[in-house]
């Protein structure tokens, strides 16, 4: 996926730059990706990126007016209305649209990360402090991997970028593998690879001279979870007001948007409150070839009620004829975190981008509002795995019970 890669090091520039280029090359999966690099040899910072053309995070890096603060940002941020205007009133020079305001938010408040809203990660360098800060969003949704070696600190949006320059790490982490088998994902900050970890949610790690100086966290879920409970009427009123007020932010981009409709609560809420003009928001659903699923049936009715076009992207002969390629690519792109059963997702999203470059959808509405639990440990088929791996599966169940 698009994201940043790099290393913080005091190794010779020639070697560091070669490693950086190999890392960037491992993220260039599509012809419509744009890549770039930025180096500050005085700080030992070597950072690169891959991004979609015309996306929010295209045009990196970002600088402040004095060129002593640099930001490389990946992902999306949906600011409070008027953010750019307020910064301009305070004398900052901003580009029209895009993410240039972000680096100026840091100038105004070094703790600016807590006010950001979106799915992102990035690296911010401050020459005055001689530091680099690696950060991610408050839930760690835009994943970033890291590895601390003796001579460098490596980070990357995909584990394969680190493996490209540190081949000695190409061995499975047995605990992470057991969690993948049991839960369908690796838990906490582990990965499938020994020595490679995932940056925890809401991280702001300060690095200097190739080492992590401080591991700071700018948000704890308990800050929200421990708020006073609301009665049902007050809760409905608050969530209705917050949802309806903030939904327009997510439709403010300059690229065309298509609505990926399901029968779920979340996409129905989006359509009900967005109230798009007739024919302005193309809708589509994913389906099979033998019968229509409830997602398609409900989505078609929702689109019709809202005056929008609707089409079905079907997983059929075209996908099946190329199943081996999609299966292999699914595992490769996800660093092994998605198995071949997720390969239809890759196919249907390839088709969706032909309708519109941006796919709008809803996720986890039932989990958030109806307390539906999306995943939990499962017992694998008897005889499928050996005793050693099964012991790690049992450990995974204990970990799941502790963290959920």
What pLDDT score was predicted for residue 371?
74
Report the domain count for the chain.
Answer: 1
Query: Is residue 95 scored above 90 in pLDDT?
Result: no
45: in domain: yes
User: pLDDT band at 204, cuts 50/70/90?
Assistant: very high
Per residue in 277-294, pLDDT (tens digit) is 999 999 999 999 999 999
Exposure pattern of 265-283 as b/e (b: 16+ CB <10 Å)?
bbbbbbbeebebeeeebbb
Summarize the chain as % helix, strand, coil (round to 5): 40, 25, 40
133: in domain: yes
Please give the angle made by the CA atoms of 142, 193 and 180, to the nearest 5 degrees.
75
Q: List, in order, residues 6 or more apart from 288 with CB less than 8 Å away.
A: 314, 315, 316
Structure tokens at 223: 């800050």
Residue with tokens 């049991």: 182
118: in domain: yes
Q: What percent of the chain has pLDDT over 90?
A: 84
Q: List, in order, residues 6 or more apart from 357 with CB less than 8 Å away.
A: 52, 54, 255, 256
What pLDDT score was predicted for residue 383?
87
CB–CB of 149/166 below 8 Å?
A: yes
DSSP assignment letter at 372: -
360: in domain: no
Give the Cα separation of 244 and 375 in Å (integer). Answer: 29
What pLDDT score was predicted for residue 228?
93
Range of the domain at 215: 3-171+194-222
Q: What is the DSSP string of 271-303?
A: HHHH-PPTTSS-EEEEE-SSS--HHHHHHHHHH
Which residue spans within 302-370 are E strands per DSSP? 310-314, 358-360
- The average confidence (pLDDT) of the chain is 94
25-29, 95-99, 315-319, 399-403: least confidently modelled range: 95-99
313: in domain: no
Per residue in 39-89, pLDDT (tens digit) is 999 999 999 999 999 899 999 999 999 999 999 999 999 999 889 889 998
Give the Cα separation of 122 and 124 in Å (integer). Answer: 7
244: in domain: no
240: in domain: no
Mean pLDDT across 224-229: 91
Q: List, in order, residues 6 or more apart from 310 with CB less than 8 Å away.
A: 261, 283, 284, 285, 299, 300, 303, 304
CATH number of the domain where residue 142 is located: 3.60.20.10
What pLDDT score was predicted for residue 97?
77
Mean pLDDT across 236-248: 94
Per residue in 111-143, pLDDT (tens digit) is 999 999 999 999 999 999 999 999 999 999 999
Closest CA to 161 of 319, 27, 42: 27
377: in domain: no
Mean pLDDT across 374-392: 88
Q: CB count, 10 Å around CB of 9? A: 22
Q: List, in order, residues 6 or more apart from 39 with CB less than 8 Å away.
A: 13, 17, 20, 45, 46, 47
């Amino acid at each position: 996926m698009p994201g940043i890669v790099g290393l913080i090091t005091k190794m010779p520039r020639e070697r560091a730059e070669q490693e950086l280029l190999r890392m960037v090359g491992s993220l260039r999966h599509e012809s419509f990706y744009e890549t770039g690099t930025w180096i500050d040899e005085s700080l030992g910072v070597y950072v690169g990126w891959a991004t979609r053309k015309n996306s929010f995070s295209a045009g990196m890096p970002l600088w402040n007016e004095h060129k002593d603060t640099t930001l490389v940002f990946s992902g999306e941020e949906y600011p409070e209305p008027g953010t750019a205007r307020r910064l301009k009133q305070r004398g900052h020079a901003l580009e029209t649209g895009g993410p240039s305001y972000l680096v100026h938010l840091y100038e105004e408040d070094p703790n600016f990360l807590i006010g950001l809203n979106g799915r992102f990660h990035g690296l911010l360098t401050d020459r005055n402090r001689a530091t680099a800060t690696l950060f991610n969003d408050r839930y760690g949704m835009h994943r970033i991997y890291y590895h601390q070696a003796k001579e460098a600190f490596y980070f990357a949006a995909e584990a394969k970028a680190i493996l490209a320059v540190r081949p000695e790490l190409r061995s499975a982490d047995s605990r992470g593998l057991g969690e993948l088998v049991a839960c369908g994902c690796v838990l906490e900050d582990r990965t499938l690879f020994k020595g490679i970890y995932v940056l925890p949610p809401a991280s702001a790690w300060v690095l200097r001279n190739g080492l992590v100086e401080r591991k700071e966290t700018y948000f704890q879920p308990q800050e929200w979870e421990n708020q006073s409970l609301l009665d049902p009427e007050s809760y409905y009123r608050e969530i209705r007001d917050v949802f309806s007020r903030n939904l327009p932010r997510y439709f403010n981009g300059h690229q065309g948007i298509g609505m990926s409709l399901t029968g779920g609560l979340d996409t129905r809420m989006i359509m009900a409150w967005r109230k798009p003009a007739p024919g302005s928001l193309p809708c589509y659903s994913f389906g099979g070839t033998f019968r229509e699923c409830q997602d398609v049936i409900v989505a078609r009715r929702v689109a019709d009620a809202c005056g929008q076009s609707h089409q079905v992207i079907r997983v059929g002969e075209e996908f099946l004829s190329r199943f081996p390629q999609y299966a292999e690519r699914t595992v490769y792109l996800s660093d092994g975190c998605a198995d071949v059963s997720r390969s239809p997702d890759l196919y249907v999203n390839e088709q969706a981008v032909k309708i519109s470059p941006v796919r709008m959808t809803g996720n986890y509405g039932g989990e958030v509002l109806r307390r539906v639990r999306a995943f939990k440990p499962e017992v694998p088929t008897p005889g499928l795995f050996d005793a050693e791996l099964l012991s790690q599966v049992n450990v995974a169940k204990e970990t799941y019970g502790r963290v959920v």
